[in-house]
Chain A
Amino acid sequence: MSQPEIVAGHPIEPDTPAFAEPWQAQAFALVIALAEGGKFSWNEWAAALSQQVHRRDAAEDGSDYYHHWMRALETLLVEKGMASPSAIEDMTAAWQRAAHATPHGKPIELANDPGL
């Protein structure tokens, strides 16, 4: 079995996969790892996520779910002093510079950031 939407070979109603893009899987796993490591509790996480998914601008079709997930994670990391907003922005920019500096087809590594 490779897809969660299939039980014992029977397709259930058409549905999108759990993760639409790889970054969503990674964002998901970050939260699991942090919670399992006791960096925050599941209640804290549920409260943070709830605050995001109840925003007025949340998409009706749920397509922005992992954007909410990321905002909730960043908020919690900042609250807990595990990351600062500026560090997150700086590191994101560094990854983007690294991507631009990486020849196409090669793995993107942070060390490729010319700004380092």
Chain B
Amino acid sequence: MLPRDPGQTNLAGMSHDHHHDHDNDLDPMAARVRALETILTEKGLIDPAAIDAIVETYETKVGPRNGARVVAKAWADADYADWLRRDATAAIASLGFSGRQGEHMQAVFNTPDTHNLVVCTLCSCYPWSVLGLPPVWYKAPPYRSRAVIDPRGVLEEFGLTLPPDTKIRVWDSTAELRYLVVPMRPEGTEGWDETRLAELVSRDSMIGTALARQAEAA
């Protein structure tokens, strides 16, 4: 929850650096956001309660464990994997993870020949419903520009060196279409249930900057 209750307001963007005994400072950006919220609320364009609910959802309920469940199910259930390949939006929604923006999802499957990597060169489009909010590096200019130009070099910076004959496909997300990488299922996981499999699926493996964890590491 965004701290807003009396007694918690010191967390809400106030600076402690230079206050006097009896007044408060509101950080300029915090004041600006409050100003927009006030204006939009007064005009009836937003509901402040909805704002709190959205923050709570993204801070506590949405995260890469959603995507890990999707990937684990695809590993364990061939029919589901097939559905995910054909209609990722519906297959993912069937697990209760729907995009708030009505965006379409496409699942891209890693194979021994091809590794997939997701970027948004436009801004920071990201499959929020399955991965939560993007990490800082995903939104930063170096990744956004270099993932397309030199994907192999970028992956090496993430500590992932692929065999030279593995092709790398880069998927550029848009506001309407977002990608989820389905990493390859690690060896030695035969017979594992989905819960156990999901523990091998890291956020980065679903962006494509990492592989799934190895069975012994779990």
Contact = CB atoms under 8 A, between A and B. Distances in A.
B101 A7 contact: no
A65 B120 CA distance: 14
Most central of B24, B37, B144 by chain A CB within 10 Å: B24
Most central of B3, B7, B45 by chain A CB within 10 Å: B45
Interface in A60-94: 60-63, 65-67, 70, 73-74, 77, 82-83, 87-88, 91-92, 94
A42 B65 contact: no
Contact of B175 (A2, A37, A43, A63): A43
Interface residues of A, number: 72
A21 B30 contact: yes
Contacts of B55: 25-26, 28-29
B203 interface: yes
A37 B45 contact: yes
A-side interface mostly: helix
A4 B134 CA distance: 9
A7 B24 contact: no
B144 to A, nearest CB: 8
Interface stretch (B13-21, B80-88, B162-170): B13-21
Interface string A5-24: 10111101101101101110
B30 A33 contact: no
Given A4-B132, A108-B26, A27 B33 contact: yes
Interface residues of B, number: 79
Interface string B98-133: 001111000000000000000000111100000011
Contact of B10 (A4, A23, A105): A105
A105 to B, nearest CB: 7
B37 to A, nearest CB: 6
A60 to B, nearest CB: 6
Given A4-B132, A7-B203, A15-B136, A70 B40 contact: no
Contacts of B2: 22, 25-26
14 contacts: A4-B62, A7-B201, A21-B13, A22-B30, A30-B33, A30-B36, A32-B54, A65-B140, A73-B36, A99-B23, A99-B24, A107-B7, A108-B12, A108-B26
Interface of B: 2-7, 9-14, 19, 21-40, 43, 45-47, 50-52, 54-55, 58-60, 62-65, 68, 100-103, 122-125, 132-133, 135-137, 139-142, 144, 174-176, 198-199, 201-204, 213, 218
Interface of A: 1-5, 7-10, 12-13, 15-16, 18-19, 21-23, 25-30, 32-37, 39, 42-43, 45-46, 49-50, 53, 58-63, 65-67, 70, 73-74, 77, 82-83, 87-88, 91-92, 94-96, 98-108, 110
Given A12-B204, A99-B25, A108-B26, 20 more contacts: A7-B202, A8-B68, A16-B135, A18-B58, A22-B13, A23-B13, A25-B58, A26-B33, A30-B40, A36-B101, A46-B123, A59-B141, A62-B136, A62-B140, A63-B136, A83-B36, A91-B35, A96-B25, A96-B28, A100-B24
